Structure 1
Amino acid sequence: MAIDLYYTPDSPACRLVLLVAAALDLQMEHHHINLQNGDQYDPKYLKINPQHSVPTIVDNGFPVWEARAIGRYLVNKYGMGSTLYPTELKERTLVDMRLDFDLGVLYERFAYYFYPQLFIGERPDKVHFAKLLEAMFFFNTFLAGETYAAGPTLTLADLSLVSTISTIEASGMDLTPFENILEWYTRVKATALKYEETNGKGLEVFKEMVDNWRRNKTEL
Structure 2
Amino acid sequence: MAPKLILHEIVPSPPVRAVKMLAKALDLELELKPVDLFTKEQYKPEYLKLNPTHTVPTLDDNGQIIWDSHAILIYLMDKYAKNDSMYPKDLVKRAIVNQFLFSDASIFDKFIGIMRPIIFGSVREINDWQKKVL
The TM-score with structure 2 as length reference comes to: 0.87
> Alignment identity in percent?
34
Change (3 A) 1:114 1:44: closer
Partner AA of 1:37 in structure 2: T
| Deviation at residue 58 of structure 1 after TM alignment | 0.9
Q: Is 1:79 matched up with 2:84? A: no
Change (3 A) 1:112 1:125: farther
Distance in structure 2 (CA, Å) of the matches to 1:101 and 1:77: 23
Distance in structure 2 (CA, Å) of the matches to 1:110 and 1:74: 27
Relative to total residues, which structure has the larger strand share, 1 or 2? 2
Residue 57 of structure 1 aligns to a residue whose secondary structure is: strand
Partner AA of 1:118 in structure 2: I
With CA pairs under 8 Å and 6+ residues apart, which has the higher RCO, 1 or 2? 1
* Structure 1: runs of 5+ lacking an equivalent: 133-220
Q: Is 1:21 matched up with 2:23? A: yes
The residue number in structure 2 matching 1:67 is 69
Do the aligned partners of 1:113 and 1:125 also contact (CA within 8 Å) in 2?
no
Change (3 A) 1:96 1:112: same
Partner AA of 2:65 in structure 1: P
The TM-score with structure 1 as length reference comes to: 0.55
Deviates more, 1:123-132 or 1:7-16: 123-132
| Deviation at residue 122 of structure 1 after TM alignment | 4.5
Deviates more, 1:111-120 or 1:53-62: 111-120
| Deviation at residue 131 of structure 1 after TM alignment | 2.3
Partner AA of 2:118 in structure 1: Q
* Structure 2: runs of 5+ lacking an equivalent: none
Number of equivalences? 131
Q: Is 1:114 matched up with 2:134? A: no
Distance in structure 2 (CA, Å) of the matches to 1:60 and 1:39: 22
Distance in structure 2 (CA, Å) of the matches to 1:13 and 1:28: 15
After superposition, give the CA deviation of every residue in 1:120-150 in whole Å (9 maximum; x if it has no partner): 2253122222122xxxxxxxxxxxxxxxxxx
1:124 aligns with one of 120, 123, 126: 126
Residue 36 of structure 1 aligns to a residue whose secondary structure is: helix
Distance in structure 2 (CA, Å) of the matches to 1:107 and 1:115: 11
Distance in structure 2 (CA, Å) of the matches to 1:35 and 1:113: 17
The residue number in structure 1 matching 2:32 is 30
Alignment of 1:1-220 (within 5 A): 1-104=3-106, 106-120=107-121, 121-132=123-134
Distance in structure 2 (CA, Å) of the matches to 1:110 and 1:44: 28
Relative to total residues, which structure has the larger helix share, 1 or 2? 1
Q: CA RMSD in A?
A: 1.6
| Deviation at residue 75 of structure 1 after TM alignment | 0.4
